[in-house]
Amino acid sequence: MDGEAYKKVKISVQHLKKNYGPLEVIRDVSVDVLEGEVVCIIGPSGSGKSTFLRCLNQLEERTSGTIWINGQNITSHTVNINMVRREIGMVFQHFNLFNNMNVLRNLMLAPVDLKIATKDDARQTALRMLERVGLSDKADAYPDQLSGGQKQRVAIARALCMKPQIMLFDEPTSALDPEMVGEVLQVMRELAADGMTMVVVTHEMRFAHEVADRVLFMDDGQFLEEGDPETIFGNPQNPRLQDFLKKVL
Amino acid sequence: MGKILSVYGPLLLTAMGQTLLLALYGLFFACIIGMIVGIMSVLKNRACRIFALIFVNLIRGVPMIVLAYFIYFGIPYFWNTVLQIGGLTLSALQAGTICLALNCGAYMAEIIRAGIEAVDVGQMEAARSLGLPYWRSMHRVVLPQAIRTMIPSIINQFIITLKDTSILSVIGFPELVNTAKNVVSKTFMSFQTWAIVAFMYLVVILILQQAAKLIERRLKRGRRSL
């Protein structure tokens, strides 16, 4: 393999399988994600998209297969998963902001607690990230005082405070009221434009079409088709993908 | 009634003090036991969970009076006479403290388990996804939220434990009920004596309940989020 090209692979998944008891949720999936690439995963509910994403930072333990992040095998027993997770930001469908802390402390908790930054530095970073997501005025607010869209933007800012190299998004707009979807997608769009490596599980086909470098279609625990958005949405080959697109578009 | 109050009042007050002392000791250790066993019951480790399950069910399935006899008489007998090791004597206060700590600890463990489980798993996942280790996440994110929901139940359990100290009169600890029995046997004024004793318990528990309300209101005002 070409050394230059190898360096640029941020995520490499090989023969990933995940079973819940007898149920095969992910069946032998392999995929690479390159640096700066935005990969969107689409597919019907229950197809294994979220499980796949959650395997990437080991919130879900895989059954078998190998996952490489930045060239490091994170499925090995010797790896400290907490160190790996620092590099991988994750945004959840239900935001999961820490309810017992205000916005600023949500953002500062991990950097300060893990001694990555001093309190002052962490505060400055936090305020900068809040500005980036357009919520500078909400630093002292508690999660329950925010709208869904604001919560999700705070969640993105919180992940960014760890200065991750990769961002995972698990249906980030699915729990939002329609009028708030735009503001979150806008933040993600800017993040993509800044060159962040992103893996996004989404039902927002327009977002996938517009922002993704590559779209993966997952059904029944497998990637049945992948390609650039033009091909996936313009000229789908797999009948299941054609069927899926007919329903959602 | 005046006679009892004037002659035995100081004695009953001292006994109330002993009751509170016993309850305090018991609760202190119950909190430790409850915290440890409660957290064990939510861990991934199967051995921990099974231990917690057995402990809680064993203690909850045995009446406290039996537990008290067992600890005060049974264990020293087993140790000294059956095992022939000898030298173990438990004072009524020690046995009573152990008994309360185990009994209340089991219920506390259940309260703490339920409190932790009531916190959305997403909170733990979000903390872990940022790279925080399990115990840091527990300490900084999950437990602070769990404790807020647990406080009313914990105070309720405190009150129950305070009342349960009366059961320990059977092992001769000079707490309020035991002392009252002695007063009755000397004076034969059982109506007056037990009325005074009931009133004393009532006052202490009402004070506790008011304190509980105050704390609850404070927590609600502090954060509306839960």
| Strand partners of residue A166 | A88, A197
Kindly report, residue by residue over B118-164, the tens digit of the pLDDT.
999 999 999 999 999 999 999 999 999 998 889 889 989 999 999 99
Interval B160-190: pLDDT, tens: 999 999 999 999 898 899 999 999 999 998 9
Nearest by CB: A85 against B122, B131, B140: B131
Q: Is the pLDDT of residue A219 over 60?
A: yes
The CATH number of residue B89's host domain is 1.10.3720.10
Closest CA to A201 of A44, A81, A27: A44
pTM score, whole prediction = 0.85
Q: Do A162 and B131 touch (CB under 8 A)?
A: yes
What pLDDT band is residue B222 in, cutting at 50, 70 and 90? low
The answer to whether residue B125 neighbours chain A at the CB level (below 8 Å) is yes
CA B144, CA B116: separation in Å to the nearest integer? 9
Angle at B217 between CA B201 and CA B151, to 5 degrees: 65
Q: Report CB contact under 8 Å: B131, A109.
A: no
**What ipTM was predicted for this assembly?**
0.92
Quote the domain boundaries for residue B87.
2-224
Round to whole Å and give the CA distance between B219 and B226. 10
Q: Residue A162 is nearest to which of B123, B130, B226, comparing CB atoms?
A: B130
User: H-helix or E-strand containing A208?
Assistant: helix A205-211
Structurally, chain B folds into a number of domains equal to: 1
* Dihedral Cα B140, B143, B144, B147, nearest 10 deg: -170
Instruction: Determine the Cα–Cα distance for residues A130 and A164; give it in Å rounded to an integer.
Output: 16
Model pLDDT for residues B21-49, shown as the tens digit of each residue: 999 999 999 999 999 999 999 999 999 99
